[in-house]
């Protein structure tokens, strides 16, 4: 187990270095100029030259990269070239918002997708299987913004059961600490605020969960059906073991590997792909920030966000690899 973790950590560090170099070079090779985006079209050449010197953009690319790595090692992510705000502080405020939203969506997708996939496999080629298959295909094929608009129209406009957008009702007051209404209300022991924040979370979390839910359902169904056809399952049935015991102890335990793999990939991709949901439901997360920073060529923000996304994605992959060894003892012995 320790050897697996150490090898994965070593490869992760190498990937982070290579990724930081690639992103650093790619951003500076894009057409356009950061200083012109900051100063506007009426800026003179003298003003642009002064701004480039202040931002360090007049230095060579290797010098800029070394300075970037040195600042990164000291925990300094730099300041936004647009508003001058420290990137680390803005990132801390926004990243937790996106993390809560995507985590909530993945929890819904996992808790619903795995049982639905099991149910479809159990009733293969019967009406429950057909209904679940059609539903998962619809959930996967409908764009997120369309599904989100449908949720808002049905549950917020027509039925008026849930709020349409935002994190919380501004009339509900409590101390702001993390800029995440759900967490702040809980820390302040404001149960009214917590219920309000939870109500604001339901619709965007369901919108985020729609795609992953469909994928997890389909993968679970396929993995369970494949495992059911293996020799050891037929042997267990021939011995007269109960169906529930066979499903719990033999089928699901061996069907977990592809399911865990898909969950890890979906979780990592959701963090960077929540921009549509954040925009639609007015959640001030990193998705909108990333798009705006790329448009403005804000190097410090884009580099930091890409690096954070990569770290989270690689950390999730590390957890997936560790979970493999816990699920399948053969992997521990081979390592």
> How confident is the model over 232-290, as pLDDT tens digits?
778 877 877 777 777 777 787 788 888 988 998 888 778 766 788 888 898 888 887 88
Q: What is the pLDDT of residue 321?
A: 78
The lowest-confidence range among 36-40, 46-50, 134-138, 201-205 is: 36-40
% of the chain beyond a pLDDT of 70 = 93
Q: Is the pLDDT assigned to residue 117 strictly greater than 90?
A: yes
Contact in structure between 155 and 200 (CB atoms under 8 Å): no
Q: What is the pTM of this model?
A: 0.82
**Helices and strands counted in the chain (H then E):** 16, 0
Q: What is the pLDDT of residue 329?
A: 64
Q: Look-up: residue for tokens 């508003």? A: 83
Angle at 9 between CA 110 and CA 1, to 5 degrees: 75
Structure tokens at 239: 């011995």
Q: Is the pLDDT assigned to residue 115 strictly greater than 70?
A: yes
Which pLDDT band holds residue 330 (cuts at 50, 70, 90)? low
Q: What is the pLDDT of residue 106?
A: 93
Q: Could you give the dihedral angle defined by the CA atoms of residues 50, 52, 56 and 60, in that order, rounded to the nearest 10 degrees?
A: -120
Mean per-residue pLDDT, 212-232: 89
Q: Is the pLDDT assigned to residue 93 strictly greater than 60?
A: yes
Mean per-residue pLDDT, 84-96: 84
Spatial separation of the C-alpha atoms in residues 7 and 317, rounded to whole Å:
13
Query: Which of helix, strand or coil describes residue 188?
Result: coil
Structure tokens at 104: 């909530």
Q: Is the pLDDT assigned to residue 1 strictly greater than 70?
A: no
Average pLDDT, the chain: 83
Question: What CATH number is given for 87-334 in this structure?
Answer: 1.10.3720.10
Nearest one of 279, 298, 156, 133 to 217, comparing CA atoms: 133
> Alpha helices of 171-274 — where are they, by DSSP H?
181-187, 191-228, 231-238, 243-246, 252-272
DSSP 82: T
Q: Could you give the dihedral angle defined by the CA atoms of residues 135, 141, 144 and 150, in that order, rounded to the nearest 10 degrees?
A: -50
Mean per-residue pLDDT, 327-331: 65
Q: What is the pLDDT of residue 38?
A: 67
Q: Is the pLDDT assigned to residue 334 strictly greater than 60?
A: no
Query: Which of helix, strand or coil describes residue 79?
Result: strand
Q: Is the pLDDT assigned to residue 33 strictly greater than 70?
A: no
Which tens digits make up the pLDDT trace of 139-154? 888 888 899 999 999 9
Spatial separation of the C-alpha atoms in residues 241 and 235, rounded to whole Å:
9
Q: What is the pLDDT of residue 95?
A: 87
Q: What is the pLDDT of residue 56?
A: 73
Contacting residues for 143 by C-beta, under 8 A, at least 6 apart: none
Q: Is the pLDDT assigned to residue 34 strictly greater than 80?
A: no
Q: What is the pLDDT of residue 255?
A: 83
Contact in structure between 100 and 295 (CB atoms under 8 Å): no
């Amino acid at each position: 187990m320790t050897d697996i973790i150490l090898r994965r950590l070593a490869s992760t560090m190498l990937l982070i270095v290579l990724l930081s170099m690639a992103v650093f070079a790619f951003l500076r090779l894009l057409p356009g100029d950061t200083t012109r985006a900051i100063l506007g079209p009426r800026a003179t050449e003298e003003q642009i030259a002064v701004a480039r010197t202040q931002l360090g953009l007049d230095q060579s690319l290797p010098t800029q990269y070394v300075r970037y790595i040195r600042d990164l090692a000291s925990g300094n992510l730099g300041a936004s070239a647009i508003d001058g705000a420290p990137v680390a502080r803005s990132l801390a405020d926004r990243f937790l918002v996106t993390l809560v939203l995507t985590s909530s969506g993945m929890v819904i997708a996992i808790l619903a997708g795995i049982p639905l996939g099991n149910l479809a496999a159990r009733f293969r080629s019967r009406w429950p299987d057909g209904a679940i298959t059609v539903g998962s295909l619809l959930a996967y094929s409908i764009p997120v913004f369309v599904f989100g608009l449908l949720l808002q129209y049905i549950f917020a406009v027509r039925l008026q059961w849930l709020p349409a957008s935002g994190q919380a009702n501004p009339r509900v007051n409590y101390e702001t600490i993390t800029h995440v209404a759900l967490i702040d209300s809980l820390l302040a022991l404001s149960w009214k605020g917590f219920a309000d924040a939870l109500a604001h979370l339901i619709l965007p979390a369901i919108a985020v969960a729609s795609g992953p839910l469909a994928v997890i359902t389909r993968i679970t169904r396929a993995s369970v059906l494949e495992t059911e056809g293996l020799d050891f399952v037929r042997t267990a049935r021939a011995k007269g073991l109960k169906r529930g015991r066979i499903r719990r102890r033999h089928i699901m335990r061996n069907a977990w590997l592809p399911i865990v793999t898909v969950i890890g990939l979906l979780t990592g991709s959701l963090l960077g792909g929540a921009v549509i949901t954040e925009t639609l439901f007015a959640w001030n997360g990193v998705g909108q920030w990333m798009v705006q920073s790329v448009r403005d060529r804000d190097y410090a923000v884009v580099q930091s966000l890409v690096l954070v996304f990569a770290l989270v994605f690689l950390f999730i992959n590390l957890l997936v690899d560790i979970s493999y060894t816990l699920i399948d003892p053969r992997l521990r012995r081979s390592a």
